Amino acid sequence: MSRMRAVGILSTGSCVPERVLTNADLEKMVDTSDEWIVTRTGIRERRICSADEASSDLAYQAAVKALEKANVTADELDLIIVATITPDTLFPSTACLLQERLGAKRAAAMDVSAACTGFLYGIATASQFIATGLYRYVLVVGVETLSKITDYKDRNTCVLFGDGAGAALLGPVPSGFGFQAFDLGADGSGGPLLQLPAGGSRIPASHESVENRLHYIAMAGREVFKFAVRVMSSATEAVLAKAGVSKEEIDLLVPHQANLRIIEAAIKRFGLSEDKVVVNLDRYGNMSSASIPVALDEALAAGRINEGDTVVLVGFGGGLTWGASLLKWTFQRL
């Protein structure tokens, strides 16, 4: 068997809608307050799509930025993976729509559905194609328009979610750099804790399903919170162990942006200083599969990642799913 190639992230890009929905705006919509939202979540505002914006629109903008930064053209792409739970349509996939819009005529295309863990599942899948030599360039986009499936009459969930897209271009890098380990997991027994009940083959769309508001996100908040705190730590510990890296060697942690208290619990557990953790959920809320790539793109733009840094990406989401990845960052490419 030939030696596996080292794979890394060559570039990133992101896109968020222009419209800002603040906590003050939500106070006028449901029985809530800025103090209540900030205290329990850390969120102050989030971005919301316009009525005519879809996931593929945000994905396209993020993808173009990532390709431009890497000086790679769309027709050089071998594969496009879009991680989303809010596709434009059930089929064709949003990845196929993005492929056509980019003009990536050589690229295969598929969607990945792992909720907030989707981007991590996407990069883990992409890296295998490159490591084996089957493909050279794979574009992974995490995109959500959660406002389309958020119930703005439910005070417990409507304060949490926002829209956005983050893209990463993966390709070969020098040996010793790039992805060092992945840890992916799932527990389907927790599926009912976070779901979109209707719209699939179990509960097809009907007058009854619409009247009962079954086409909106349904979440058992307390149970999901306990799961998230536990798995954020365990997934990080697992990927550190697989890579043979100690927690003291982490230069930057990029966690899924769901709740500030969950992130703070991870910071405390791993003894990290705040400057080693990326937090932007105060501005964007929970963007599901888009949250990690958007946070990563912003960290790179702010100069928070240097050559040789150990970067950990970790997330959790509906399914229930979780995942973590550890990279030895490089700005070099082959």
Query: Looking at the annotation, which residues are catalytic?
Result: 116, 256, 286
CA 80 – CA 137 distance, rounded (Å): 9
Name the burial class of residue 306, with classes exposed (0-12), middle (13-18) and buried (19+) by CB atoms within 10 angstroms of its CB: exposed
How far apart are the C-alpha atoms of 32 and 182, rounded to whole Å? 39
| Terminal C-alpha separation, the chain | 21
| DSSP track, 22-40 | EHHHHHTTSS--HHHHHHH
Q: Provide the pairing of β-strand 79-83 with 138-145.
A: parallel
Query: What is the signed CA dihedral for 148, 321, 192, 151, rounded to 10 degrees?
Result: -20
Instruction: Using the structure block, give the residue that is written with the tokens 């996931």.
Output: 55
